[in-house]
């Protein structure tokens, strides 16, 4: 058997690609412009694959339920959570968050849950999208 | 080819730390006589990060996530070994169901890692079609990992005294379907690797590690088993649920009848282990008992228990690359570990490179080096961050420098 | 280098105690059950005196050639403790023994003999102990630095907890720019 992969190579030419072409079928030359176009409705985005159940995405914080016990701060592995002593509430910096969901396990009142949002890249670590409070 | 009279001068060729042939930073200094390597010197430490030192300021739950980030590919085995060490030190008994779930996660990681390695090895010998084929299988394995743990790479599934996520009944059909997919494609992969002449020509007789050298230099994992040393923590000891399962040593003579200890044997070794892992996951799913998955779900309570522990423990787990061993010592005053020592498999597989590479051709360096599945991030963990301001660049500065560089090239 | 007969943990401890008598300070055998069948494998923790260290390793090599996993180190204040994690009986189903030999060295004179001549695979871990804990290893074939960079200051040992540690080298590790 000298060329055992040759049949696979030919089959591959006529197959649909295995990967999802996100965000567009062909890589846009200017991503910022492309995203702006999507915002205005000029271009269409290829949606990302649906996240599975139990995916650990952006943290959701139910402020009403929080009692300010600070257990999440003690067990956060990357010190992403800050305490606001006046309100007795917390502030989560997602730029530091490692999405381990340990705070959800520790929380006695279950006020923290993991969402399924994952497109969180940003140039500014303190942008509004990356702070949950 | 016959080796005739050697030339009087030998040449020194540095390879690394950044080199297209090596995927991770490691520095080799080769002494070359013509095309033949006569001496090798290895220098490590280019990605030291001071992990063990950092653990002094963290409690065991935080250290779990630190351990997970030692290495991306073995992101399960380091927390697993750490948990085993802590459980041994504090004498925590893990529920039976959790032991089985831990085996499933560990074996799934082995499938991912070995298939990834098969792709990298194919790439190193210039067989890129196989790279894409294997990584297509790995993609499926990663999807399954995401389904079971919530993330593709950093699984975050381990916890002290158990495991964080259960496998419920409605998950089983998907797992079985994916295992069947691995089995079907495994046959194809086996056919490519074992019957294809291209791979045989490149890998047979290259990078030989004899059994004697493997024993002497304390090699671990598939590297040592491919040389015929029967050493596998899963079989040797009873931890997790491995003591209950039907598992035996795998050495390449199972398939070929003799052991050469060359790159080809290491390829066979890893492929056979993929088969074994699929088999183990199936056994676990069939035999898994019902029950709790964590011994102590309330983490503050667990921490109070660990605070009183004054003792030491060793945790050993068979990672895809070999035995990983963690040593943890508590001093009974804080819950933070007093000492934490991590020994990743590549740490022991560095010295065997020297007998493997001696006498080889320059062109064989990448595949021989890759054949031990080196993981430099695992090995180099300790560094001191000397915050010198000249290394810090703001985003604007970096952007400006990049633009300048591009302009310079465009002239 | 040939594999001798299987050893039981009790036999190992006994043979060491017979040979070195009072130089063996402490020897414990720990067993932990796992899984449904509660199979157990043994861990031996043994403290030995520094003076018989090399002979003890030689004795172990005579019993059966061990696999050295790693050496870990502790800073205990006045002393430095080195723990050599060996495994013996590998290659037998569930009869492997994890054998931990620990030896204490005074900080004033942290010197120990190399075991590289008996187990060549110990080289990297011994070099690591030299740079991380400042232990002097007598007769080591290669005493270059292994993990730390060459321009790292001399006389600073990252794993120490006294004034030779690294506490003075770092600053603002946890500071976040706001």
B337-394 pLDDT tens trace: 898 988 888 888 888 888 888 888 877 887 887 777 777 666 655 433 333 334 455 6
pTM of the complete model: 0.89
Average pLDDT over residues C3-24: 83
Per-residue pLDDT at B7 exceeds 60: no
Check: CB of residue C74 under 8 Å from CB of residue C81.
yes
DSSP-derived letter for residue B336 is S
Assign C158 a pLDDT band (cuts: 50, 70, 90). confident
Assign B238 a pLDDT band (cuts: 50, 70, 90). confident
Q: In the predicted model, what is the mean pLDDT of chain A? A: 86
Tokens coding B259? 């052991």
Q: Are residues A56 and A76 in the same domain?
A: yes
Contact list, A80 vs chain C (CB under 8 Å) = none
pLDDT of residue C173: 59
Residue A99, domain member (yes or no) = yes
From B10's Cα to the closest Cα of chain A, the distance in A is 38
pLDDT of residue A91: 92
Q: Cβ B196–A98 below 8 Å, yes or no?
A: no
pLDDT of residue B381: 52
Q: Does B184 touch chain A (CB under 8 A)?
A: no
The total of structural domains in chain A comes to 2
Strand partners, C99: C44, C86
Check: CB of residue A94 under 8 Å from CB of residue A114.
no
Contact list, A79 vs chain C (CB under 8 Å) = 174
CB atoms near residue B217 (< 10 Å): 25
Domain with A117 in it: what CATH number?
3.30.70.3270
pLDDT of residue A112: 92
Query: Among residues of chain B, what percentage have pLDDT more than 90?
Result: 22
**Strand ordering across the sheet containing C67-75:** C24-34, C39-48, C97-106, C79-88, C67-75
pLDDT of residue A2: 62
CB atoms near residue B195 (< 10 Å): 12
Contact list, B242 vs chain C (CB under 8 Å) = 34-35
Instruction: Please give the Cα distance from C115 to C92 (Å, whole number).
Output: 26
Strand partners, B388: none
Q: In the predicted model, what is the mean pLDDT of chain C? A: 85
Task: Tell me the per-residue pLDDT of B120-166, one tens digit each, with 9 for 90 and over.
Answer: 888 888 888 888 888 888 889 999 999 998 888 888 899 998 999 89
Assign C45 a pLDDT band (cuts: 50, 70, 90). very high
Check: CB of residue B329 under 8 Å from CB of residue B341.
no
Q: Does B49 touch chain C (CB under 8 A)?
A: no
pLDDT of residue C177: 54
Buried b / exposed e along B399-408 (16+ C-beta atoms within 10 A): eeeeeeeeee
Q: Which of C84, A7, A57 is nearest to B146 (CA)?
A: A57
Residue A82, domain member (yes or no) = yes
Query: Among residues of chain A, what percentage have pLDDT more than 70?
Result: 97
Assign B282 a pLDDT band (cuts: 50, 70, 90). very high
Q: Cβ A102–B191 below 8 Å, yes or no?
A: no
Q: Does C144 touch chain A (CB under 8 A)?
A: no
Residue A2, domain member (yes or no) = no
Assign C174 a pLDDT band (cuts: 50, 70, 90). low
Q: In the predicted model, what is the mean pLDDT of chain B? A: 84
Contact list, C166 vs chain B (CB under 8 Å) = 53, 384
pLDDT of residue B196: 78
- Those residues with Cβ within 8 angstroms of residue A66's Cβ, 6 or more apart along the chain or in another chain: A88, A89, A90, A109, A111
Q: Are residues A111 and A96 in the same domain?
A: yes
pLDDT of residue C48: 92
Across the B/C interface, how many CB contacts are shorter than 8 Å?
156
- Between B46 and B110, the higher pLDDT residue: B110
The CATH code of the domain at B51-379 is 1.10.645.10
pLDDT of residue B100: 92
Per-residue pLDDT at B224 exceeds 70: yes
Per-residue pLDDT at A28 exceeds 60: yes
State yes or no: cis peptide before B351, omega within 30 of 0.
no
Tokens coding B140? 């499926």
> Closest-CA residue in chain C for A95?
C176
Contact list, A93 vs chain C (CB under 8 Å) = 176
Strand partners, A86: none
Q: Which of residues 3-22 of A touch B (CB under 8 A)?
A: 4-5, 8-9, 18
Residue A132, domain member (yes or no) = yes
For chain B, give percent helix, strand, coil, nearest 5.
50, 15, 35
Check: CB of residue C74 under 8 Å from CB of residue B340.
no
Instruction: State the residue range of the domain holding A13.
Output: 7-49
Q: Which of A78, C2, C106 is nearest to B54 (CA)?
A: A78
Instruction: Please give the Cα distance from B30 to B36 (Å, whole number).
Output: 10
Query: Among residues of chain B, what percentage have pLDDT more than 70?
Result: 91
Residue spans per domain, chain C: 9-169
pLDDT of residue B182: 92
pLDDT of residue B395: 62
Assign B279 a pLDDT band (cuts: 50, 70, 90). very high
Average pLDDT over residues B223-228: 90
Tell me which H or E stretch contains B81. helix B77-90
Q: Does A131 touch chain B (CB under 8 A)?
A: no
Scanning B125-210, the segments in alpha helix (DSSP H) are 128-149, 172-195, 197-203
Per-residue pLDDT at B276 exceeds 60: yes
Distances (CA, A) of B345 to A63, B199, B244, B352, B372: 45, 26, 25, 12, 10
Residue spans per domain, chain B: 51-379
ipTM confidence? 0.91
Instruction: Please give the Cα distance from C2 to C98 (Å, whole number).
Output: 19
Which site among C38, C94, C115, C121 would you substitute to test the B interface, given the most B Cβ atoms closer than 10 Å to its Cβ? Answer: C121
Average pLDDT over residues B332-338: 87
Check: CB of residue A90 under 8 Å from CB of residue A66.
yes
Average pLDDT over residues B103-125: 89
Q: Which of B81, B61, B35 is nearest to B296 (CA)?
A: B61
pLDDT of residue B384: 35
From A100's Cα to the closest Cα of chain C, the distance in A is 20
Q: Which fold has domain C9-169?
A: Beta Polymerase; domain 2 (3.30.460)
């Amino acid at each position: 058997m000298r060329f055992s992969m040759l049949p696979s190579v030919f089959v591959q030419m006529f197959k649909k690609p295995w990967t999802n072409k996100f965000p567009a079928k062909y890589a846009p030359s200017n991503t910022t412009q492309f995203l702006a176009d999507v915002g205005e409705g000029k271009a269409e985005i290829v949606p990302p694959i649906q996240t599975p159940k139990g995916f650990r995405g952006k943290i959701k914080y139910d402020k009403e339920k929080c009692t300010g016990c600070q257990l999440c701060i003690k067990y956060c592995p990357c010190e992403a959570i800050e305490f606001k002593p006046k309100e007795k509430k917390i502030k989560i910096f997602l730029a530091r968050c490692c999405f381990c969901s340990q705070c959800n396990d520790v929380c006695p009142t279950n006020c923290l849950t993991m969402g399924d949002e994952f497109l969180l890249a940003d140039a500014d670590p303190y942008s509004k999208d990356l702070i949950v409070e | 080819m016959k080796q005739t009279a050697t030339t009087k001068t030998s040449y020194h060729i540095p390879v690394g730390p950044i080199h297209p042939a090596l995927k991770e930073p490691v520095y080799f200094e080769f002494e070359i006589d013509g095309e033949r390597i006569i001496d090798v010197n290895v220098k490590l430490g280019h990605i030291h990060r001071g992990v063990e030192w950092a653990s002094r300021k963290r409690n065991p739950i935080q250290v779990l996530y630190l351990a997970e980030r030692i290495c991306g590919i073995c992101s399960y085995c380091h927390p697993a070994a750490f948990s085993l060490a802590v459980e041994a030190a504090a004498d925590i008994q893990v529920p039976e169901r959790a032991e089985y779930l831990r085996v499933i996660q560990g074996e799934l990681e082995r499938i991912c890692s070995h298939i990834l390695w098969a792709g990298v090895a194919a790439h190193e010998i210039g067989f890129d079609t196989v790279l894409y084929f294997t990584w297509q299988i790995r993609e499926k394995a990663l999807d399954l990992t995401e389904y079971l743990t919530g993330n593709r790479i950093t699984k975050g599934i381990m916890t002290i005294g158990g495991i964080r996520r259960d496998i419920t009944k409605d998950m089983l059909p998907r797992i079985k379907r994916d295992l069947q997919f691995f089995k079907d494609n495994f046959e194809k992969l086996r056919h490519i690797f074992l019957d294809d002449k291209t791979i045989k020509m490149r890998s047979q007789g290259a990078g030989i590690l004899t059994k004697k050298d493997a024993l002497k230099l304390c090699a671990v994992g598939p590297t040592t088993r491919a040389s015929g040393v029967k050493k596998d923590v899963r079989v040797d000891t009873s931890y997790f649920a491995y003591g209950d399962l039907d598992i035996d040593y795998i050495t390449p003579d199972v398939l070929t009848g003799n052991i050469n200890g060359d790159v080809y044997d290491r390829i066979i070794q890893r492929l056979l282990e993929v088969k074994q892992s699929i088999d183990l996951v199936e056994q676990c799913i069939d035999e898994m008992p019902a029950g709790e998955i964590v011994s102590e779900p309330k983490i503050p309570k667990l921490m109070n228990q660990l605070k009183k522990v004054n003792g030491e423990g060793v945790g050993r787990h068979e990672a895809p690359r070999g035995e990983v061993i963690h040593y943890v010592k508590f001093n009974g005053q804080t819950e933070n570990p007093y000492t934490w020592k991590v020994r990743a498999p590549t740490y022991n597989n560095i010295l065997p490179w020297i007998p493997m590479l001696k006498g080889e051709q320059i062109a064989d360096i990448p595949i021989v080096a890759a054949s031990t599945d080196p993981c430099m991030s695992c090995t180099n963990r300790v560094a001191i961050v000397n915050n010198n301001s000249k290394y810090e660049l703001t985003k604007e500065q970096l952007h400006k420098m990049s633009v300048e560089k591009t302009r310079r090239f465009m002239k | 280098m040939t594999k001798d007969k299987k050893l039981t943990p009790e036999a190992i401890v006994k043979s060491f105690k017979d040979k070195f008598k009072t130089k063996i300070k402490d020897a414990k055998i720990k067993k932990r059950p796992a899984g449904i069948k509660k199979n157990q494998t043994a861990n031996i923790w043994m403290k030995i005196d520094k003076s018989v260290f090399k002979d003890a390793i030689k004795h172990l090599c005579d019993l059966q050639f061990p696999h050295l996993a790693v050496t870990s180190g502790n800073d205990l204040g006045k002393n430095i403790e080195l723990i050599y994690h060996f495994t013996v009986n590998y290659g037998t189903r569930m009869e492997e023994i994890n054998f931990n030999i620990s030896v204490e060295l005074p900080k004033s004179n942290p010197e120990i003999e190399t075991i590289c001549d008996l187990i060549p695979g110990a080289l990297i871990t011994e070099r690591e102990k030299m740079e991380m804990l400042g232990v002097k290893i007598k007769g080591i074939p290669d005493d270059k630095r292994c993990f730390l960079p060459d321009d790292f200051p001399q006389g600073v040992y990252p794993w120490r907890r006294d004034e030779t540690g690294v506490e003075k080298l770092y600053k603002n590790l946890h500071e976040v720019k706001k």
